[in-house]
Amino acid sequence: MSEKRTPFPWLLSLIFTLVGVLLAVLVVYAEGDANQMTPLAWASVIIGFAPLIGAQLVLGIPSVAQQVQTWLQTTRWPLLHTAGGITVLWLLSNLLAGHFDPYATAIVAFGLFAALGTLRQIGKGRRGLTWADAAIWLFIWIPFDLRWNYDLWFGYGGGYNWWSIAISVLAVVGWYGLRDLPEFGYRLVPQVKDILIALVATAVFAAIVIPIGLAIDFLTFPPSKPPQLLPALLMFVGLILTVAIPEELFFRGILQHGLDQMVERRWLVLLAVSFAFGLMHWNNADDLTTKIAYTALATLAGVFYGWAYRRSGNNLLAPVLTHALVDTIWATFLQ
């Protein structure tokens, strides 16, 4: 008898893709680029972003993510559907922007297939991280963080925005759908506990960091621009999609969670991952003094994000909300 294949949740994915259309438009407006958009530019953004945002959101529903995982394990060509699908979205968006580079296309396609293919070959159900996990983590995250792969984006909407959403989907599909990392924690369905943990973590972090940041002139108050509610809300949504989800996925969901299963001293894991997270912000400033301040404060933020992750029972929504709240407050009131 042939193996029974699990159906893919197409209808729910379509619904969330339509939600992704709305969110893609909101991101464009939040970036202030709407007035410059042509019909082809809008088509490029919607085709390139909406399906990925839809996947980013629908995979955050645990029951649907489990169904997708089972489907990936029973379908005949999982890499063609996943790596191939993301490559097609990348290519279509670039073509609509009037650009085609066969060399860049080959790099993107090979990178996606290599990353997901390696994760698929690692094995199912292993606890903790392997060296192959670490290599793929670096292969995906470091080029993104150092802006090396931004030149591989010629569409509208910005290389950072597209790659941040794409690697979020890549990480969930790879480490959860194909790698089957136990208790991955990618849940975007809100619970009261997540919101309360996020509010507590944000409040305590702010109480510690704001006086320090003002004292060393890293933060500015009053802000240079009067705070506005609607732009702040749009920024918050955009930060969740393009900053908080990918960063919390890679640093809390994969790195911290994976190391927690290998190292008994969990406080040491929390400090190490928080420092790695802080170091990621080194290139976000120009002069040495600001670099050190940025890294130190980001490291402290990583401690609170890691605490929120553990306190919520290794669910990523709490640190995602904390992260987005911290960045929104900083950009709205302290710059």
Question: Residue 114 has what pLDDT?
Answer: 96
Distance between CA atoms of 291 and 284, rounded to whole angstroms?
7
Residue (of 163, 157, 176) closest to 111 by Cα position: 163
Which position has the higher pLDDT, 142 or 261?
Answer: 142
pLDDT at 57 over 80: yes
Residue (of 297, 294, 271, 276) closest to 284 by Cα position: 294
- The half-sphere exposure of 246 on its side-chain side, counting CA atoms within 13 A, is 24
Per-residue pLDDT band for 140 (boundaries 50, 70, 90) equals: very high
pLDDT at 7 over 60: yes
Distance between CA atoms of 300 and 208, rounded to whole angstroms?
10
Distance between CA atoms of 303 and 309, rounded to whole angstroms?
10
CB atoms within 10 A of CB 265: 9
Q: Residue by residue, what is the 3-state secondary structure of 251-288?
A: HHHHHHHHHHCCCCCHHHHHHHHHHHHHHCCHHHCCCH
Question: Residue 304 has what pLDDT?
Answer: 98
Distance between CA atoms of 104 and 275, rounded to whole angstroms?
33
pTM: 0.94
Summarised one tens digit per residue, pLDDT across range 204-253 is 999 999 999 999 999 999 988 889 998 899 899 999 999 999 999 999 99
Task: Name residue, tokens 């066969």.
Answer: 102
275-291 average pLDDT score = 94
pLDDT at 303 over 90: yes
Question: Residue 126 has what pLDDT?
Answer: 66
Summarised one tens digit per residue, pLDDT across range 104-120 is 999 999 999 999 999 99
Residue (of 151, 150, 149, 114) closest to 135 by Cα position: 114
Per-residue pLDDT band for 125 (boundaries 50, 70, 90) equals: low
Q: Residue by residue, what is the 3-state secondary structure of 167-187?
A: HHHHHHHHHHHHCCCCCCCCC
Distance between CA atoms of 335 and 333, rounded to whole angstroms?
6
